[in-house]
A and B are shown apart, each in its own frame.
Chain A
Amino acid sequence: MSDSRKRDWFATEDDASDNELHNSDENDVRLQRQPVVKKAKQIADVKKSKRRETVEDNEEKEESRVTTAAKGSNKRTGKVDSILAFTRTDESDEDNDDDNEQEQSEEEPEVEEGLDRDGNPKGILRQLSTTELEDNRAKIEKSGVVYLSRIPPYMKPAKVRQILSRFGELDRVFLAPEDPKSYARRVRFGGNKKRNFVEGWVEFQDKKKAKLAASTLNGNIIGGRKGSYYYDDILNIKYLPKFKWHHLTEQIAYENQVRQAKLRAEISQATKENKAFIRNVERAKMIEHIQEKKRKKQAKTAPNVKAESKPVPNAGEIEMRRNFKQRSVVMHKDKEETMQRVLKNIFA
């Protein structure tokens, strides 16, 4: 799935055009199926130790910033806290990606204090007080996430929110849009032009409410008014135990980070190569200049020799020759038996 298309789509949907979406659909699907434990393995999978260093560096950086964080939190929670602990940050990619992830869920109501999302990019970091931090942690601890394995046809995030908010206050909603190719195909063959969603995650502020919603709604018709569009549709909804919203975003953030680090490494490599090229060019100019001077000098001392067009390179001059492997010239390709037959039959 192409990023740009997805970006367009989200831009039109939530009017958040200035937000870039780095993740792709595959990521969305993957993160659902990827237990958190696997993340460690993934880090190990990254081949170049360099990249790993950068990733860990970032994590360390973040940890060091969480000076006020309560003790006893393991590395991961520390990291997440750090995300929530600042009012506005643009320094680490991590935070950006979290923002983006949130943008994907439609029309966010009040977000947590820590995450101001309406993009003044160079905001000042304000550390939260210990109590505020504690509050945040408690909030996260209390929240619960449910997973919708299918979304009724063309149901929008707003409708999902409306259905689920019967049970308790919701936080974030994310519905994964369908593959743009299948959308294009449907539209091309005269199908419905509305956007479809394939699966979704919904965050409840209170996990008890989340459990209640899941057990009540799962496998049951949506109901409501008899004539309503979704009356007979069935919801398939599951409470995800021990699963928080940041588990969703983590994977994407991590992948983005790896990508950024790789790009940086690539670019620095390119810069090195360019510098070498520039150096060589300058050197060539210098040598040319020296030779030119020498030639002039020779012409002055012995004007008779001037008639000879090209001076022989002196012993002092650098005479460098490198042999490069030459690509082969292919004239007309060899003739085969079938070719011969064709040629014979062509006029007779």
Chain B
Amino acid sequence: MAIRRPSQIQIACIPQILKGRDCIGGARTGSGKTIAFAAPILQKLSEDPFGVFAVVMTPTRELALQISEQFAALGASMNLRQAVIVGGMDMIAQALALQKRPHVVIATPGRLADHIRSSGEEAIAGLRRVKFLVMDEADRLLTPGFAEDLEECMNVMAKAKTRQTLLFSATITQSVMQLKESFRHIFVHEVPSNSISIPATLDQTYLFIPTHVREAYLVSLLTLPINEKKSAIVFVNRATTAEVLKRIFRSMDVRVTSLHSQISQRERIDSLGRFRAEAARVLVATDVASRGLDIPVVQMVVNFDIPADPDDYIHRVGRTARAGRTGESIAFVTEHDINRIKAIEERVGKVMTKYELVTESMVIRDSLQQTSNAKREALMDLERENSGSLSKKRRFDGR
């Protein structure tokens, strides 16, 4: 790890955390938020190493794994013990790991709550004395979807008086910001103005196209000679769309992999690994991959569907242009997305420019027919494999 100079949020937050203050940290994507809480936690831990010292909560499993890697890298010299408690993995092994009282527990709320309910006192006893509770991507965690599980976890953990609580995200919502008013002791590092949550090195563009030819445009875009070598993440809103796109790309001989909730955890980890190692050039993902994941090679983010929440857009495009690198994002705006794109532009504080390199005639000539055939075939195959339904129980056959 070569970190020579602390980033802004690290300069601001680390001393305050070391002083023992609670903290809300907002900084743009890719600006080193993870280190901003990991470093002081490890510092404090080395003063008095014991049981479960810190709990880090994240909204997605992959993010938890990534944070654990970073903790491992930073804490290698002090024999840091840690446990990752996320869904989709063996629960008994996790319970045993918790019993051994690791220094740091990195968890997703659902699985941790599950352990609290069912793994017995021995496993969760350590959690009662935690000194640090970190919520990464706090604005996502503090939404109703996670509320019940979070409450269950927090009931077990040490009271807020005896622990430090750190909230981090690139987009801090109003409801979280209001906490500042009621609790004066909190240190807040804010994003100065609303335009800042997007890195300056990111080039944001859009393509205004009809819904039914989006796939063809996407294929044309990613097979352009200048884009042919770039690694790209394509964000979609649904798991089915991700699967269909994956199949389309596969039939076009583009090295592709997908990440969404409808494949098993093993496959999720595998496909992310493949993309990290550049064995796959294109990652088709849902919002599972939109937050926190740090993949340096990503040069391009395509929003195949426009997210309903402008904050999600910020996190999605934040997968590229990280830590001072350049990157580009392309939003596919269809006739139905005008309101959404307006809302995004307002939130980001920047008007996107038109992406000029893909033209209609190019799409018609190169990819239109081929893609639509591939799409129909993919849809038919999917229908046959899953009898049309795509519930949680019927997962994709991993291929």
Residues 276-304 of A contacting B (Cβ, < 8 Å):
277-278, 281
Given contacts A263-B377, A342-B151, A346-B154, contact A331 B372 (CB under 8 A): no
> A283: shortest Cβ distance to chain B, in Å?
12
Q: Pick the interface stretch among A113-121, A147-155, A212-220, A265-273.
A: A265-273
Alpha-carbon distance between A178 and B294 when the two chains are bound, in angstroms: 41
A317 CB within 8 Å of chain B: no
- Binary CB contact string for chain B from 46 to 73 against chain A (1 if under 8 A, 0 otherwise): 0000000000000000000000000000
A195 CB within 8 Å of chain B: no
Interface bracket on B: 35 or more
Residues in A whose Cβ lies below 8 Å from that of B186: 347
Q: Which residue among A4, A5, A270, A278 has the maximum number of chain B CB atoms within 10 Å of its CB?
A: A270
Closest residue on chain B to residue A327 by CB atoms: B336
Alpha-carbon distance between A335 and B174 when the two chains are bound, in angstroms: 11
Alpha-carbon distance between A5 and B176 when the two chains are bound, in angstroms: 50
A319 CB within 8 Å of chain B: no
Main secondary structure of the interface of B (DSSP, over half): helix
B308 CB within 8 Å of chain A: yes
Contact present for B310 and A277 (CB under 8 Å) = no
Alpha-carbon distance between A277 and B150 when the two chains are bound, in angstroms: 49
Closest residue on chain A to residue B161 by CB atoms: A348
Alpha-carbon distance between A331 and B210 when the two chains are bound, in angstroms: 25
Residues in A whose Cβ lies below 8 Å from that of B151: 338, 341-342, 345
Contact present for B376 and A343 (CB under 8 Å) = no
A189 CB within 8 Å of chain B: no
Contact present for B144 and A333 (CB under 8 Å) = yes
B338 CB within 8 Å of chain A: yes
Contact present for A339 and B147 (CB under 8 Å) = yes
Residues in B whose Cβ lies below 8 Å from that of A342: 142, 147, 150-151, 154
Closest residue on chain A to residue B343 by CB atoms: A329
Contact present for A327 and B337 (CB under 8 Å) = yes
A259 CB within 8 Å of chain B: yes
Contact present for B309 and A345 (CB under 8 Å) = no
Alpha-carbon distance between A277 and B372 when the two chains are bound, in angstroms: 12
> A333: shortest Cβ distance to chain B, in Å?
6
- Binary CB contact string for chain B from 146 to 172 against chain A (1 if under 8 A, 0 otherwise): 011011001000001100010100000
Closest residue on chain A to residue B24 by CB atoms: A347
Q: Which residue among A278, A330, A347 has the maximum number of chain B CB atoms within 10 Å of its CB?
A: A347
Q: Which residue among A269, A271, A334 has the maximum number of chain B CB atoms within 10 Å of its CB?
A: A271
> B56: shortest Cβ distance to chain A, in Å?
15
Contact present for A338 and B144 (CB under 8 Å) = yes
> A51: shortest Cβ distance to chain B, in Å?
13
Residues in B whose Cβ lies below 8 Å from that of A331: 309-310, 343
Given contacts A329-B343, A333-B143, A338-B151, contact A346 B179 (CB under 8 A): yes
Closest residue on chain A to residue B376 by CB atoms: A266
> B24: shortest Cβ distance to chain A, in Å?
9
Q: Which residue among A5, A266, A277 has the maximum number of chain B CB atoms within 10 Å of its CB?
A: A277
Residues in A whose Cβ lies below 8 Å from that of B360: 281
Residues in B whose Cβ lies below 8 Å from that of A336: 144, 147
B373 CB within 8 Å of chain A: yes
Q: Which residue among B161, B338, B373, B375 has the maximum number of chain A CB atoms within 10 Å of its CB?
A: B373
Closest residue on chain B to residue A285 by CB atoms: B360
B368 CB within 8 Å of chain A: yes
A67 CB within 8 Å of chain B: no
Residues in A whose Cβ lies below 8 Å from that of B373: 267, 270
A274 CB within 8 Å of chain B: yes
- Binary CB contact string for chain B from 328 to 372 against chain A (1 if under 8 A, 0 otherwise): 000000011111100100000000000000001100100011001
Alpha-carbon distance between A4 and B364 when the two chains are bound, in angstroms: 31
> A257: shortest Cβ distance to chain B, in Å?
14
Alpha-carbon distance between A345 and B135 when the two chains are bound, in angstroms: 14
Contact present for B183 and A327 (CB under 8 Å) = no
Residues in B whose Cβ lies below 8 Å from that of A266: 376-377, 379-380
B175 CB within 8 Å of chain A: yes
Measured CB to CB, the residues of A under 8 A from B are: 2, 4-5, 259, 262-263, 266-267, 269-271, 273-274, 277-278, 281, 324-336, 338-339, 341-343, 345-348
Task: Apart from A262-B380, A332-B173, A333-B144, list 17 A-B contacts with CB within 8 A.
Answer: A5-B399, A266-B379, A277-B210, A278-B364, A325-B336, A326-B336, A329-B309, A329-B310, A329-B339, A330-B308, A333-B145, A338-B144, A338-B151, A343-B179, A346-B167, A347-B165, A348-B183
Q: Could you name 14 residue pairs across A and B whose Cβ atoms are closer than 8 Å?
A: A4-B399, A266-B380, A269-B376, A270-B375, A273-B212, A277-B368, A281-B361, A325-B336, A331-B343, A333-B144, A339-B147, A341-B147, A347-B183, A348-B160
